[in-house]
Amino acid sequence: MTLHKFNLPDVGEGLTEAEIVSWKVRAGDTVAVNDIICEIETAKSLVELPSPFAGTVAELLVREGVTVDVGTPIISVNDAAAADAGTAPATAAPAAAPAVDQPLYGKLEADTSDAGEPAGRPAGGPLVGSGPKADAVKRRRRVSPAPAAEPPAPTPSTPGPGLVATAVRPAERPVPAEAIDLRPTLGGAITGLVSRVLAKPPVRKIARDLGIDLSDVVPTGARGEVTREDLVSYQAQRDAEVDKADSFWGKTGRPQDQRVERIPVKGVRKATAKAMVESAFSAPHVSIFVDVDASRTMEFVKRLKASRDFEGIKVSPLLILAKAVIWAAARNPSVNATWVDNPDGSDTAEIQVKHFMNLGIAAATPRGLMVPNIKNAQDLSLKELALALNDLATTARAGKTQPAQMQGGTLTVTNIGALGIDTGTPIINPGEVAIVAFGTIKQKPWVLDGEVIPRWITTLGGSFDHRVVDGDLSARFMADVASILEEPALLLD
């Protein structure tokens, strides 16, 4: 009989500690090599750890919610039961490398819709496609959701925080720029008419009973339709937010110092805060803005959705913006660069221009802001880029983004139009010199050929490191991005 202790491994990217989020086994359980034993949260992402040993779990050495250093024993496994029962070959345990010497990652299961295909929804949106049956949901009055104070840890049936937009009348609804988290775009209907949401009659009845506007629900069906599970997850998110809103304020009779909620800053939130402070106070930010007539982009997106080549692929205006950013960076290379102080120990700084594009997409996830990036995005066709965006979205939404996926970014896009925001001044992602904010797309009066007509308008905001990107360069880059949104056919040149 041998008692093995499994130490918290180094999961890569130089991380030195992690929090035990949840155990998947208990003392007395039998495990095989590569069975998932727990989930840990690092400063970058949520990671599943597989067991390097086969046997019986003797003891869980660290409680859930506790942060420990790499190399700390977290579980002990007794291999006697496995040997006696013949559940594992004799060479199973010795074959596993010492846990602390190499990173260990569990296999990540793909998110699936009710048809069994990957949902591929934009990242950062409510977690949908799973949950209890719709008939278990009680009838509730229609309420516009309020943002929750602090979300619970995500599970497959728990929605993400604050990502369900307030319901408005269809005639007033702006068309979101649709990044990784959003309601479906209105499909580029330039006439201003809201396109009909796909849903089966029973689903429509459930939505009516619950007072849910189907256009507020992110669909995960194989043909882009809203499913029962989508409604259940949306309602769960809405209920959680409303319930928290009703009980948010503490009792007036209690002293104010007893009505303060203290939330430890750790994991992704801690890493994000540190990175943003370093960026804001090390890189001199300058921001510029440009209004863009995106009507032809909306028409182009509508045609792509109807194309057989893009059947089953989520397509949004973000796809065109991503392609525009890649195209514009090639024409203005210094925006795709890094400022490096004292390279190789020298006393002279240098600008490193990257001749590749690792395009970062800022994603609001249940565990905080993450910026995974699409490696070598410059080599991808429009269809390949759409698939990459969908995969990034699905992984980020599930909280399964790995540390390596967030390293090495060269330029970032953030979709602040997801909740109807026009524009903003984003902070540059550390190690980069430019970031583009994509505002909401909505109909506005626009002067075209001397006539005032309704057009689909968006506002782009860009922040740049003024040590690298001068005003002239930033203006030319933003103008190039805008020109693609105004005329996507330029991408074919």
Q: How many CA atoms lie within 13 A of 318 on its CB side?
A: 39
Instruction: Give the H/E segment covering residue 276.
Output: helix 267-282
* Residue whose entry in the numeric block shows the structure tokens 């949950």: 131
Q: Where are the beta strands (DSSP E) in 79-188?
A: none
Distance CA 396, CA 393 (A): 5
In terms of Cα–Cα distance, which of 401, 404, 407, 394 is closest to 47?
401
Burial class (CB in 10 A: 0-12, 13-18, 19+), 252: exposed
Please enumerate in sequence order all residues whose Cβ is within 8 A of that of 145, keeping only pairs 6 or more positions apart, or say none: 164, 166, 237, 238, 241, 242
In terms of Cα–Cα distance, which of 153, 160, 161 is closest to 19?
153
Cβ atoms < 10 Å from Cβ of 435: 27
Choosing from 4, 285, 355, 466, the catalytic residue is: 466
Q: Does residue 432 contact residue 360 with C-beta atoms inside 8 Å?
A: yes
Q: Does residue 283 contact residue 465 with C-beta atoms inside 8 Å?
A: yes
Q: Does residue 184 contact residue 218 with C-beta atoms inside 8 Å?
A: yes
**Cα angle 119, 193, 312; round to 5:** 20
**Is 466 a catalytic site residue?**
yes
Cβ atoms < 10 Å from Cβ of 90: 12
Q: Which two tokens mark 406?
A: 């967030």
In terms of Cα–Cα distance, which of 205, 251, 282 is closest to 468?
282
Burial class (CB in 10 A: 0-12, 13-18, 19+), 5: middle
Instruction: Give the H/E segment covering residue 465.
Output: strand 451-465
Q: Does residue 319 contact residue 388 with C-beta atoms inside 8 Å?
A: no
Burial class (CB in 10 A: 0-12, 13-18, 19+), 326: buried
Distance CA 468, CA 435 (A): 13
Active site residues: 466
